[in-house]
Amino acid sequence: MGGLDRWVIHLDMDAFYASCEQLTRPTLAERPVLVGGAGPRGVVAGASYQARAHGIRSAMPMSQARRLLPPNGVILPPRFKLYELLSTQVFDLVAQYAPVLERISLDEAFAEPPSLVGATSAEVHEFGSLVRERIRAEVGLVASIGAASGKQVAKVASDQAKPDGLLVVDQGTERDFLAPLPTRVLWGIGPVAEGKLRAIGVRTLGQLTALSDADAVSTLGSVVGRDLRRLATGVDDRPVSDRAELKQVSAETTFDRDLIDLASLRREVRDLAVHAHKRLVNAGRVARTVVVKLRDTAFSTVTRSETMATPTDEFDQLASMAERLLIDPAEFGGVRLAGVAFSGLSVPHQDPLFTLSVPVSEALETSVSKAPAPVVFSGWRPGDDVVHEEHGSGWVQGAGHGRVTVRFETRTSGPGVARTFTQEDPALRRGDPADCLS
DNA sequence: TCTGGGGTCCTAGGACCC
DNA sequence: TCTGGGGTCCTAGGACCC
């Protein structure tokens, strides 16, 4: 092989959702913040480091997190629009150094900066510090960075660097770096694979590399086994590349209480089809397969799917197929979760003679107009964005008994004052997450 | 008050075709 | 008589990721 050494950067935002909330609502800056569904079956989607200090973790049931949360803690519903705006700011900045970004999620990406080809560890360290500093100064958020000769090691390195850290793994030391770490840190080894490996006495990545190819394959499967054993040795020449085409869109919901009748399940599935269809149209795709997913009271999951001869984006066709695939709760038991997915996606065939010259936004509106009427205003809820005629932008800190308390502050305002209004005060309007960035 | 929501990828069996 | 073989598509389930 040979050639100049490459450097892969893995950038991972620290406690991203919670940090976005703390950035735009300065009163929360030093407080335990949880982001996630507040309902009876919600889980924690994001937790600030102040919340983690109390043992709260991502994916923990909210009911459990609530018991651990100290009195000054706050639970907020997610504001994905805000997270997307801030994510774009961060990665636009990184893209100035690396034309190719492999975005894993809103808060995580790989990059392979051309300027680092053949660079020394010290130079890579300098580069990482610069990027972290710029993100802190220009966006206001903290990123941790791992750097190494390949993606897997770079990713493990950024995990080890957290919080607020930078770790460069010298080229040639990848294997020694990984060897003492538990198998679970590897991207691709989850609870099941970890358990299988433990059963044959393998707990560390060093022990995994010592396994024969045959043993790795018989324990982890032919594809995964061979790949992971090789990655555990630190050998990883997979390219950093833009993510592949979208393969499916979906929408799913966990009900506060299990559904037991077909009529209400049918209604819910229709709503889910509306949401999934919106995503389909947004992505500019047509689908050939409809998948309905149900989870029962015991948490076991069943899927039913059907594939059409030709792909479509017609709502009625997709939704009625989803309804036909439903199973009656009477024979299924209580339904805890329902989901609708459209897969087998493709870009619609455009016959040049019949191409519609309708702008995407209009096409979107047309399809959205088939959906049920938007939800009517049902009062203020904690976490809502608010704009007041005089006081400007803020957020709902608490609501109840016909009153609502709003704290007026934004990213640049510093901690703001709280004022209380009646729920119906005409001076209050619903705000937009973008307002709090100014 | 046990266990979200949006995805990707892999496996395995049966239908179907040549 | 005693049972081809390869390839692709579809369906269902499950591991894993953030």
Domain with A367, as residue range(s), is 359-438
More confident site: A31 or A401: A31
Mean pLDDT of A284-310: 96
Does any domain span residue A424? yes
Cα–Cα distance for residue pair A385/A377, rounded to 1 Å: 13
Kindly report the CATH number assigned to the domain that includes residue A299: 3.30.1490.100
Cα–Cα distance for residue pair A233/A270, rounded to 1 Å: 49
Does any domain span residue A285? yes
More confident site: A433 or A279: A279
Confidence band of A375 (pLDDT split at 50, 70, 90)? very low
pLDDT tens for each residue of A27-77: 999 999 999 998 999 999 999 999 999 999 999 999 999 999 999 999 999
**A55-59, A61-65, A170-174, A362-366: lowest mean pLDDT where?**
A362-366
Has residue A356 got a pLDDT over 50?
no
Does any domain span residue A99? no
Of A321, A344, A367, the domain-final residue: A344
Same domain, A323 and A391: no
**A161-175, A268-282, A366-380: lowest mean pLDDT where?**
A366-380
Does any domain span residue A318? yes
Same domain, A286 and A363: no
Q: Find which of A317-331, A358-372, A394-408 is predicted with most confidence, using mean pLDDT.
A: A317-331
Confidence band of A364 (pLDDT split at 50, 70, 90)? very low
Of A344, A374, A391, the domain-final residue: A344
Q: Decide: A322 and A273 in contact? Cβ < 8 Å.
A: yes
Does any domain span residue A28? no
- A272 CA → C6 C1’, Å: 41
Does any domain span residue A207? yes
More confident site: A404 or A321: A321
Same domain, A363 and A436: yes
Mean pLDDT of A125-130: 98
Of all residues in chain A, the percent with pLDDT exceeding 70 is 92
Bases along strand B below 7 A from a protein CB: 1-11
Has residue A362 got a pLDDT over 80?
no
A182 touches strand C (CB under 7 A): no
Strand B: residues with CB below 7 A: A 37, 39-43, 45, 58-59, 61, 63, 66, 221-224, 244, 246-254, 275, 279, 298-299, 336-337, 339, 341
Residue-level pLDDT at A263:
96
C1' nearest to CA of A282: which nucleotide?
B6
pLDDT tens for each residue of A293-304: 999 999 999 999
Confidence band of A308 (pLDDT split at 50, 70, 90)? very high
Encode A5-47 in three state secondary structure: CCCEEEEEECCHHHHHHHHHCHHHCCCCEEEECCCCCCEEEEE
Residue-level pLDDT at A156:
98
Residue-level pLDDT at A401:
84
Same domain, A337 and A407: no
Residue lying closest to nucleotide B8, CA to C1': A247
Q: How many domains does chain A have?
A: 3
**Burial classification of residue A239, based on how many CB atoms lie within 10 Å of its CB (0-12 exposed, 13-18 middle, 19 or more buried):** exposed
Same domain, A256 and A212: no
- A169 CA → B5 C1’, Å: 34
Residue-level pLDDT at A435:
86
C1' nearest to CA of A303: which nucleotide?
C12
Residue-level pLDDT at A351:
57
One-character DSSP codes across A173-203: -HHHHHTTSBGGGSTT--HHHHHHHHHTT--
Residue lying closest to nucleotide B2, CA to C1': A61
Residue lying closest to nucleotide C10, CA to C1': A307
Active site residues of A: 108
Residues 6+ apart with CB under 8 A from A380: A386, A396, A399, A404, A423, A428
Residue lying closest to nucleotide C11, CA to C1': A305
pLDDT tens for each residue of A203-239: 999 999 999 988 998 899 888 888 899 999 999 999 9
Residue-level pLDDT at A365:
43
Mean pLDDT of A386-397: 90
- A225 CA → C2 C1’, Å: 39
Mean pLDDT of A425-431: 90
Bases along strand C below 7 A from a protein CB: 9-18
Of A289, A318, A344, the domain-final residue: A344
Cα–Cα distance for residue pair A438/A434, rounded to 1 Å: 8
Mean pLDDT of A180-187: 96
Same domain, A255 and A338: yes
A61 touches strand C (CB under 7 A): no
Confidence band of A268 (pLDDT split at 50, 70, 90)? very high
Has residue A372 got a pLDDT over 80?
no
Same domain, A200 and A284: no
Does any domain span residue A110? no
What is the end-to-end Cα distance of chain A in Å, rounded?
50
Residues 6+ apart with CB under 8 A from A410: A24, A392, A393, A416, A435, A436, A437, A438
Cα–Cα distance for residue pair A71/A65, rounded to 1 Å: 12
Confidence band of A377 (pLDDT split at 50, 70, 90)? low
CA A401 and chain centroid, separation: 35
Does any domain span residue A63? no
A307 touches strand C (CB under 7 A): yes
Residue-level pLDDT at A355:
44
Same domain, A219 and A283: no
Whole-number average pLDDT of chain A: 91
Same domain, A304 and A337: yes
Same domain, A372 and A401: yes
Cα–Cα distance for residue pair A83/A19, rounded to 1 Å: 10
Residue-level pLDDT at A4:
65
More confident site: A338 or A243: A338
More confident site: A334 or A349: A334
**Tokens describing residue A274:** 């509306």
Residues 353-412/A with CB within 7 Å of nucleic chain C are none
Same domain, A283 and A314: yes
C1' nearest to CA of A58: which nucleotide?
C18
pLDDT tens for each residue of A415-424: 998 889 998 8
Residue-level pLDDT at A366:
43
Residues 97-136/A with CB within 7 Å of nucleic chain C are 104-108
> Kind of pairing, strands A143-148 and A166-168?
parallel
Residue-level pLDDT at A10:
98
Kindly report the CATH number assigned to the domain that includes residue A183: 1.10.150.20
Cis previous bond, A348, omega within 30: no
Which candidate, A312, A304, A309, A308, places its Cα nearest to that of A346?
Answer: A312
Which amino acid type is present at position A265? L
A186 touches strand C (CB under 7 A): yes
Cα–Cα distance for residue pair A205/A217, rounded to 1 Å: 15
Mean pLDDT of A109-120: 97
